[in-house]
Structure 1
Amino acid sequence: MPSPTSRTAATAPASAADAPPTLWFTRCPVPTATGIAADQGRFAREFAADGIAVRSLQDVPPEVAADHHYTHALTGLFREGGNVPALWARSRGERTRLVGLTWIEERQVVLVRAGSGISGPEQLRGRRLAVPRHGIGIDFWRAMALSGLHGALSLAGLTADDAEWVDVPAAPDGGQWAAELAALRDGVVDAVYVKGALAVEAARRIGAEVAVDLDVAPDRRARVNNGTPRPITVHQDLLDKHPDLVARFLSVLLEAADWAAEHPAEVGRILQAETGAGEEGVAGAYAPGSHRTLHLDLSEERLGLLEQQERFLHRHGFLEAPVDVRVWADPEPLRAARALLAARRGADG
């Protein structure tokens, strides 16, 4: 693979007078090309010659970073994260643009107590389903649970009216899924939606059983949720003033995804650091071959799946206004990034 620092004339350093002193990135604790690139120092190498620092919001004290991961109010920010906050920010009028989408299968299941007798989506009829409630600006946890449970019900031709929905207040100092899994353990609810590596580990600790495995559903529309598809967004101001920087940043993500496809063991190590889970949790959450699925695109299929999520979120009150996904999406930065990467590789022989 060519060196991340190699450049063609099209990627000459930006004018010091015009370039922002810092570019920011943020990502969720899940598999992302952003996380891979950050772990390998690719952003620093790409922009060092410009005198541009590239920093992670995750490394900044909360009182400084505020809630930028959710609001995207920081104009120099690249965000690769859940679609619920990204759509919410856009619905509130933040001038972001959608420049890429990924689809990474991340274990999505409905859990029940051992010995409950619930072993399929049809048996969720009449059951008490946990819906967490967090005191945050955009309750993406609640949105995830609702979307996941709706998806599970749909596999049996059931609707929301066929189940009982139980609010579960989140514990202020609890971990991910802690309140819902405690409610399941204590018999307050009959079923809980969980996803990801930490959820796999937490479920095993309480001996919960899988009643519905959304990952095996042949129709991926049943798995549309906060991280499927996962958007990469930038601010319109950055795109207007520095389209070259946006293209270069995206080209680093493309390179990182290419590298990940050839290095499964190293990706596993990075994912443990990114998710905070152990080797068993990561292995249980991400299917073999997941290291080859970090590439971003704006395909018709992924845009359609995001439109499905937008309709769901708006219908359930998570968005302040509808979001036209097609208007929000700008394919030009990704086209420019692919052309830039191809030119670099051609120049390197």
Structure 2
Amino acid sequence: MTTPDKIWFTRCPVPTAGGLAHRLGWLDGAFAASGLEVGVLQDAGPELARHHFDHDLLGLFREGGNVPALSARSAGAPTRLIGLTWIEEWQSILVRPGSGVAGAGDLRGARVALPGWAATRAQSFPRAMALHGAKGALAQGGLTLDDVTFTEVAVDPSPSVGRGARGRAPSWPGLEELARGEVDAVYAKGARAAEQARGLGLEVAVDLDAHPDPRTRVNNGTPRPITVHERLLDERPDLVVTFLAQALRAASWAAGDLGRVREILAGETGSGADGVATAYRRGFHRSLHPGLPADRLGLLAVQKDFLLVHGFLDADVDLDAWTAPEPLRLAQEQIAAEAGAEVAV
């Protein structure tokens, strides 16, 4: 039986149940009982941090964007999908004031920012986000990707989190180009982008969160997967259940303490309180629980198909074969049993 030398957890600048559990110290406490230390992957240096994208590390739990997760799986990474969340986090199409673009239908003929390709498909997630975000917005106006012109923009390769970030928040790709008039529209999401857009005086032309059909918001973080190394799941399923149980506990805690959640997210996202309040709207703190319901898996399939068509995957991904529901079921049963015991007492 294999036991990893250390449990590793990836940090993304987004709200995750695992991230909250880590910040609250609950992951450290839970794995200490098994004699294991928990480390933040992005703080471990570039040799280990690269596994955020290829997931070739035995003790790694990755809760982050689905583009790197799907890309790694499509390239043959031995991972399993053990949970999904769906969290609305301010997805918008931004324009300059006075542009005349007041809605999705006005985007016809616009120059839309498109981040360039990175060194790998997995690292090209900013490009994938911009492309799918544009598609979702255009669909609201009865338009397609063929109705706009894409203009490539540079991407800041600096780490978003971890020691390499040095407390600096990289600019969202395309915002400065938009402010200078080099493009007409930019897809943006999350607290940091909201704060930067406000600082540049940019306006929201399309609020993707306002549309009733969630398929228009399918993107890198919607839905957001939790993945684990296949060998760890096969040989130490107890450790996988431990992680998920702590994530579920953190999600339940978050539902009752919005103020503290926002405080934590301000640190995680590298933005201020205003950015967090804009990006994560009323009630978001009650939707952090991981799950694997059919509707979330269906939305992940929409994203997977989009990524395959547009060249972000090496090959198709069999979502049924990738998904491992048993650990989450056991974690949920563990939480329910504990709650039942507390009621009995």
TM-score (norm 1): 0.92
Give CA-to-partner distance per residue, 1:5-61, whole Å, 9 cap, x none.
Answer: xxxxxxxxxxxx853331111131100011110111101111222211111113222
Within the candidate set 122, 125, 129, 1:144 is matched to 129
Matches within 5 A, 1:76-225: 76-137=59-120, 138=122, 139-171=124-156, 176-225=170-219
Structure 1 window deviating more from structure 2 (53-62 vs 225-234): it is: 53-62
Give CA-to-partner distance per residue, 1:283-317, whole Å, 9 cap, x none.
Answer: 01110111111101000000000000000000000
Report the CA distance shift for 1:18/1:275 in structure 2 as closer, same or farther (over 3 A).
Answer: same
User: Which is greater in Rg?
Assistant: 1
Within the candidate set 268, 281, 297, 2:291 is matched to 297
- 1:24 touches 1:55 (CA, 8 Å); kept in 2? yes
Letter in 1 for 2:16: T
Within the candidate set 7, 19, 27, 1:43 is matched to 27
Q: Structure 1 residue 160: deviation in Å?
A: 1.0
RMSD (Å), alpha carbons: 1.5
Equivalents in 1 of 2:341, 2:151: separation in Å? 59
Report the CA distance shift for 1:87/1:179 in structure 2 as closer, same or farther (over 3 A).
Answer: closer
Equivalents in 2 of 1:57, 1:47: separation in Å? 16
Equivalents in 1 of 2:279, 2:103: separation in Å? 20
For residue 23 of structure 1, what is the aligned residue in structure 2? 7
Give CA-to-partner distance per residue, 1:208-261, whole Å, 9 cap, x none.
Answer: 111100010010100000000000001110000001111111011000100000
- 1:177 touches 1:194 (CA, 8 Å); kept in 2? no
Percent sequence identity is 55
- 2:42 touches 2:49 (CA, 8 Å); kept in 1? no
Local SS of the residue matching 2:262: helix
For residue 246 of structure 2, what is the aligned residue in structure 1? 252
Local SS of the residue matching 2:181: coil
Equivalents in 2 of 1:111, 1:238: separation in Å? 43
Given the alignment of the two structures, is residue 241 of structure 1 paired with residue 235 of structure 2, yes or no?
yes
Equivalents in 1 of 2:312, 2:252: separation in Å? 35
Structure 1 stretches of at least 4 aligned residues deviating more than 6 Å after TM superposition: none
- 1:134 touches 1:169 (CA, 8 Å); kept in 2? no
Equivalents in 2 of 1:157, 1:317: separation in Å? 24
For residue 301 of structure 2, what is the aligned residue in structure 1? 307
Given the alignment of the two structures, is residue 226 of structure 1 paired with residue 220 of structure 2, yes or no?
yes
Structure 2 unaligned regions, length at least 5: 159-167
Equivalent residues, number: 332
